[in-house]
Each structure stands twice: as structure tokens, then as C-alpha cells.
Amino acid sequence: GRDPKKFILLDFNERTVPVPAHITDALKEYLDSGGLQRYPSYGRMNEQIAEYAGVRAEECMFTNGSDQGIDLVVRCCCEKGTEAIIPSPTFAMYEQAAESEGVSIRRPHFTKEKGFPVDEVIAMVGPKTSLIVISNPNNPTGTPVSRDAIVKIAQNAPHCAILVDECYYEFMGPGESVVADIATYPNIFLCRTFSKTWGMPSLRLGYLLSAEQNIKALCCVRGPYDINHLAGIALDAAMKDRQYVWDFVDEVNKRSKPLFEAFLKRKGIEFWPTSANFIFCYFSDPVELEKSIRSRGILVRPKKDAEGTLGLRITFGSEVQMQKLIEVLEELLGGEPAAKRPCL
């Protein structure tokens, strides 16, 4: 199992250090107050999230993780027999949700050299297209998608729902989000999560941002108690003192990421340029290497690119954690020649 007492967890793109005490203390206080027997009440949670996101409360709804947001958009916007354009490789939840609604999937490819296939996506749009999914930055490759590219797609596919997943929003640069465009383009649905930088994946809390009329319709489908009260307690505490989020983002972006990328370059190991808190790398024998890394107390995750080539997706942890991984890889790789993608 994924026991944090036994392993450094660099496999699920989580926050790799605990949340601060003011969040866990708030949860303990609520549990000690005897509130578990009551149904949730959400108070100002939606307003808090909207204020953080920079939108009106009417343009925001909280969800049970970003997964529920994805599922709601697909269920409400896609009829059976229509088509979804989902660039590959990407997060499996998009296809799972689409296939459960009887939607056919078209898969243009991300590439390491060209990034997001904006022209191919637009060329695939037709009268049967009901959904276009844009993971920004993309999982598992970390590829950023420019705001201009997303807006161009929204303009060229006004009849389609454009689902933009900004799960790793806090790691993105300023001006890369399309949050300011949801009022102009009512076909844009933007989902985010509190699972990554905020460090609360076990509480399952995310949110959707879109035009007011979309949010009203989606709220009619979401259940009245789909989000547990503990998530709201933790969020309220986190929002009151959120510097811990940006401290971790700064450590990843300014120290851990440059440290590990420099190691990969020095070893001649091929990797995808990334704007997220993870990196997709190619090694000569990723299966055996992953086993060896795991045997030394670190978890990373094997993933395939769009051509089926297996690599390792590695989460950026703290600087100390990344230094430990580098030491393990130095031991395992030794003087191994530079690893390149196999020619298919």
C-alpha cells in the first residue's frame, strides 16, 4: 500500500508534506464537539471559493473533488451518440465519464515537441461534437495549454462544452488561466480542486466555474449533501491562513523542480517540459527501475505516452525529498548512457 510511514509518495501528484496544524486542529475541534451525527451545512463555503477564484458566487459551485465536476459536465452536456475530443495521453476520468454516457471519443495527441494539438482539435470539431476536454497543465505530461489556444477553441466550437481542468492551477503562471473568460464564453466549464496544493485529497473537495446559467443548471443535478462537512471545516481553516499553500508552491517551482530537471539534463534523460508539480521521464528500463526505486522507499508512477511508450511520472516533492530521489537514481543508474524514447 501507499504507506507514508514507509514511502516517500511521489506517485499521485499530491502535496508531499502535511498540512499545518491550524487545519487539523479545526477538524479535531469539530469532531470533539459531537457534530458527526448532523447533515452538512455549508455556510459561506461557496462564497469563500468564489472570492478566492475571483468570480461571482453565482459563477461557482463546490463539488465532491474535481471528479464530480467532470462527471456533472459530461452528464449534462453530452447526449448518447455524440462525440468528445479528448487529447491523449491524459487523465483517465475524462474518458470514463464520457464512455459511461455513450459518447464516442476522438483522441488527437499531445507531443513533446509541439505540445497541445490545438489545430488538430479544431479540425476534428463537427456537428456531432458535444465536448472538448483540455487538461491544463496536462496529466501525465505536464504540458501547458495557452489561454489563447483555449479561447480559440471556444470560439471555433460554440456548440460544444469546453471542459478545462485546472487541477494544478496554483502551479501555473499568472495569466494562464481562463477564469476571466467564463463570462465571455458560456461554453467554457472550468474545474479545479483542493486536493493538490491545498493538501486535502482525502476530503474530496473541488469546484466548478462557469457562466451563471450553467452553474444554476448543474446545481440542480448535484445532490444537496454531496460534499462532507469535514471538507468545509478544513477549507474554512485553510482559507483563513493560506500562506502554507504558496510556501509549498514556491518550494516546488523554485527549488525542487529546477533541482530535478538539472539532474535529468546532466544524466541525459529525456523528459517532457512541464508546468505542473510532476514530470514525465523516459528511462531505458522503466519497469525494473520503478521496482528498484520502490524497494528503496520511494513511489513513482509508470505511465504511457500517446504512442504507447512507457515512462515514469514523478511528482515534485520537497527539496529534501527530491534530493533523496536523486541519490537513489544516482545509485541505480550509475554510468548508464542517456535514456531515450524507443523508436516505434
CA dist 326 and 336 (Å) reads 14
Instruction: Name 218's bridge partners.
Output: none
**The pLDDT value given to residue 1:** 77
Residue ranges in the chain modelled with pLDDT below 70: 335-344
**Grid cell digits, residue 155:** 470560439
C-alpha cell at 107: 483522441
What pLDDT shows up at residue 174?
77
Which residue from 124, 187, 143 is spatially nearest to 161, judged by alpha carbons? Answer: 187
- What's the distance, Cα to Cα, between the start and end of the chain in Å? 34
CA distance 36 to 57: 27
- Tell me which amino acid residue 95 is: E
Q: At what angle do helices 92-100 and 65-77 cross, to 10 degrees?
A: 40
For residue 341, what pLDDT is reported? 55
Tell me the CA distances in angstroms from 274 to 108, 282, 316, one per residue in order: 19, 14, 11
pLDDT of residue 84: 98
Q: Which of 235, 151, 208, 218 is nearest to 185 (CA)?
A: 151
CA-to-CA distance for 30 and 258, rounded, in angstroms?
A: 40
* Residue 120, pLDDT score: 98
pLDDT for position 343:
40
337: amino acid identity, one letter: P
